[in-house]
Amino acid sequence: MFSNILSEASVGMVVYYLSIEKNIEGFEFYKALWKARGIEGVRAGSMTEGIDKAVGMESSNDDELFFIDIVADDINFMPQLKMLSEETNAPILIAVSKPRYTEKEHHAALNSGADFYGQYCDDPEENINAVLSVINCINQRARKRKAPIDRISHGDIHIVIDYHKVFIEDVEIALTGMEMKIFQYLVINRGNTMSHRQIYSQISDGAFDEISRDTIYSSMKRLRKKIRDVAGGDYIETVRDVGYRLKTKREMQK
């Protein structure tokens, strides 16, 4: 069940929802269905009351998680929707009947802060499952790590280290593991000449010899061709009898 999914992420967390709708009987009916899933419900009869309750609910306890369900057939939600979204971090879902649904209102609601805008159907369980799917998706995204992706950029070159991918002018270049290590080393030391020995130390712990030099030469030849095929120019410069150097941004733009 959805509540179990949340409890695995946050042990002891209480899950409940705020329903903004005028139909008391409809709310009581759905409240019982939600309660059977371990989720408590609170009702507000207007957007103004809903904003007040949302602010109070969010600030009351850190170990509580809630979402907001607006039954829009009864509520003129649009004038205060943006205010509601700014007052709380809770996901906001708007449900309307088919006669009420319009694409214009759909786009306006999403642009004003709603996380979801959709049609409810005659099957109560299906409506609840639709809400749970959206909330679960939002919850999983919120739990993802916030650490920035490790990347290196230089002109049109973008190396996404976490994913072992290289892009030049937004085109992905398929590099071998060895080519990736060499290219990453050159980009980090851009503008500086790196010797054959230094480059070889990035791909092997073995002793540097003539065979090692040939390995670097062959790998560099393939790497430069792959770059030329995409960029149309040679970003890597050969420094005779020394090694290789990645050009600066200004040199690459010439």
Same domain, 120 and 242: no
Identify the CATH number of the domain in which residue 37 sits. 3.40.50.2300
Instruction: Count other Cβ atoms within 10 Å, centred on residue 152.
Output: 15
Identify the CATH number of the domain in which residue 219 sits. 1.10.10.10
Same domain, 75 and 106: yes
Q: Does this model's pTM top 0.75?
A: no
Same domain, 51 and 68: yes
Of the residues 110, 143, 176, which one is the last residue of a structural domain? 143
Same domain, 88 and 170: no
Kindly tell me the sign of the dihedral angle through the C-alpha atoms of 30, 31, 35, 41: positive
**CA 90 – CA 74 distance, rounded (Å):** 21
Same domain, 72 and 132: yes
Mean pLDDT by 10 residues, the chain (254 residues): 38 74 94 90 92 80 75 91 90 90 93 92 90 83 65 88 86 93 95 94 86 90 94 91 90 76
Range(s) of the domain holding residue 183: 151-253
**CA 83 – CA 47 distance, rounded (Å):** 10
Same domain, 135 and 217: no
Q: Domain count for the chain, please give it.
A: 2
